[in-house]
Structure 1
Amino acid sequence: MAAVSSLSFSAIGQTSADRKVNVSSARYLASNFEGFGFRTSLLYHSLGVRVSTAASSSVVHCMSTATDVPTVSETKSNFLKAYKRPIPSVYNTVLQELIVQQHLMRYKRTYLYDAVFALGFVTVYDQLMEGYPSDEDRDAIFQAYIKALKENPQQYRIDAQKLEEWARAQTSSSLVEFPSRDGEVEGILKDIAERAGGKGSFSYSRFFAVGLFRLLELANATEPTVLEKLCAALNINKRSVDRDLDVYRNLLSKLVQAKELLKEYVDRDINLQTNCKLGDKK
């Protein structure tokens, strides 16, 4: 997966010019992030899955009821209460957009937590936040974000890591042969295949598509036919996956471009401040 260029905000001050670039870049990222499909009208394609406890003890069932659904404002407020430090607007604008849309996804009546969905979200989050000034703060924001949605951030990370480790040990062939094998991850995938095939509740989501993409990437399964076979084994519509992965790759490319532009501005600002200090000393 293309790595998003690192970026430091340590040199961004409080001048009007700084704020202008910061806000402009944030809007650029947000507008393109919306293109990934996190719009209200598209959320009815979000995840609504049911994973049996027999498939994996690590899978957590999370279904909303009419009596325990918080408002979007409450979820955003919970996030801000959990993480009180300021977030650079280039990141904060996208995070605020994302948490609103995921709130609607999370409290959809048919929503149930799924490990592949978790892998997809973790992948998107880590790509979005790569280059954040502090690793500690990046993790704290992740914790606050997931907890604001009343879910378990540790479970997200554990399940994502479990699927990543499993995928690294696979080949193009073994990845799609999971139905014939036993194992914890194989059980998760077989359960998804059963539900997607009509034997339970399943609702496709773009996070799920990214999760599949991550599995293929880690298994070095670059052949186009592998995705086709994996989708067939999971009873997933490949055309939907292709569409969403194209949008996701485009998003990553634009994230790289936006952060590179801001990095260039920061570097110029640092050089300007350095030259000014040297001039003052003379």
Structure 2
Amino acid sequence: MAALTSLSFSTLTQCSKRKSTMTSTLGIRTHFSYHHNYVGVRPFNSTSKMVIQCMSSVTDIPSVSETKLSFLKAYKRPIPSIYNNVLQELIVQHHLMRYKTSYRYDPVFALGFVTIYDKLMEGYPSDEDRDAIFKAYINALKEDPQQYRIDAQKLEEWARAQNSTSLVEFSSKEGEVEGILKDVAERAGGKGEFSYSRFFAVGLFRLLELANATEPTILDKLCAVLNVNKRSVDRDLDVYRMLLSKLVQAKELLREYIDREKKKREERAEPQNANGAIAKCLGQQLSVL
């Protein structure tokens, strides 16, 4: 079972700078306050609807350990190590993204996280517990789990109705999701706060996947119109694919382990059942005598 507990999200990253930052940030309490979220009203063009982005201000930044403790307090039931190890690494990275000065929630980011979470928790013993863990996790980061789910579903439904061409031509169209993507493009282009992250990269990948946009050049075009660095996206998608591969292997090992233990229990139970049947039979014969 050692192989099952060694899976670590951070060990899959290829960016040593990020890892060193994470290590230095763990458990350190930040002793200053700031307002990094705001209410912004931005028209995309003269005829489009105005999109209002509302974010609550954060005046007391929790430490990583406080965020993890909030999660553990909200969900007190034990989580199998194959899931818990990755969740603990994930919440550390999510915390660091969440409390960056340039962070601003957006639905593509939410879609990326929801995609990673759902892939990680596939096969979890209880659907009810899986949902409860999700809520406890997002609440620990002082965000809205329902908003994550709603926005992710909204983008997924939109992407299913797209193709390779329409996906990258959102800037010439009107609509709620088109407005979201235009806002991302403007902020990433330097006209507002934007913080690129691995979750955002996975969100883009999910859009391509649902639109069945398999041509390699489509990701290049989508990154270009969104003003996002393609090399960063490629790097983070490689890490994501590696994570999925590791999870598949670990879950397969877990299934094999469970099957072996079940078989051992059954084998141990057979002699006991046989002895019980013999004793019962002898008891019946003695009672006749």
TM-score calculated relative to the size of structure 2: 0.81
Residue of structure 1 equivalent to 2:161: 169
CA positional deviation for 1:26: 2.1
Q: Which amino acid aligns with 2:86?
A: V
CA positional deviation for 1:142: 0.3
Residue 26 of structure 1 pairs with residue 33 of structure 2: no
Residues 260 and 49 of structure 1: CA distance in aligned 2, closer, same or farther (over 3 Å): farther
Q: Which amino acid aligns with 1:185?
A: V
Gaps of 5+ in 2: 23-35, 43-49, 275-289
Residues 238 and 62 of structure 1: CA distance in aligned 2, closer, same or farther (over 3 Å): farther
Residue of structure 1 equivalent to 2:273: 281
State how far apart, in whole Å, the 1-side matches of 2:73 and 2:239 are: 33
CA positional deviation for 1:227: 0.7
CA positional deviation for 1:101: 2.2
Higher radius of gyration, 1 or 2: 2
* CA RMSD across the alignment: 2.2
CA positional deviation for 1:95: 1.2
Residue of structure 2 equivalent to 1:231: 223
Residue 83 of structure 1 pairs with residue 50 of structure 2: no
Which stretch of structure 1 is more off in the superposition, 81-90 or 179-188? Answer: 81-90
Residue 35 of structure 1 pairs with residue 27 of structure 2: no
Q: Which amino acid aligns with 2:157?
A: E
CA positional deviation for 1:70: 1.4
CA deviations over 1:124-163 (Å, ceiling 9, x no partner): 1111111111000000000000001110000000000000
Residue of structure 2 equivalent to 1:205: 197
Residue of structure 1 equivalent to 2:29: none
Residue of structure 2 equivalent to 1:12: none
TM-score calculated relative to the size of structure 1: 0.83
State how far apart, in whole Å, the 2-side matches of 1:193 and 1:275 are: 62
What are the equivalent positions in structure 2 for 1:179-258 lying under 5 Å apart? 179-258=171-250
CA deviations over 1:86-109 (Å, ceiling 9, x no partner): 111221122112212221221122
Residues 42 and 119 of structure 1: CA distance in aligned 2, closer, same or farther (over 3 Å): farther
Would the aligned equivalents of 2:82 and 2:250 in 1 still touch at CA under 8 Å?
A: no
Would the aligned equivalents of 1:91 and 1:129 in 2 still touch at CA under 8 Å?
A: yes
Residue of structure 1 equivalent to 2:121: 129
How many residue pairs were aligned?
252
State how far apart, in whole Å, the 1-side matches of 2:125 and 2:210 are: 27
Report sequence identity in percent: 70
Residue of structure 1 equivalent to 2:87: 95
State how far apart, in whole Å, the 1-side matches of 2:140 and 2:102 are: 19
Residue 107 of structure 1 pairs with residue 86 of structure 2: no
Residues 53 and 152 of structure 1: CA distance in aligned 2, closer, same or farther (over 3 Å): farther
State how far apart, in whole Å, the 1-side matches of 2:39 and 2:88 are: 29
Residue of structure 2 equivalent to 1:61: 55
State how far apart, in whole Å, the 2-side matches of 1:223 and 1:42 are: 35
State how far apart, in whole Å, the 2-side matches of 1:126 and 1:36 are: 20
Would the aligned equivalents of 1:167 and 1:215 in 2 still touch at CA under 8 Å?
A: yes
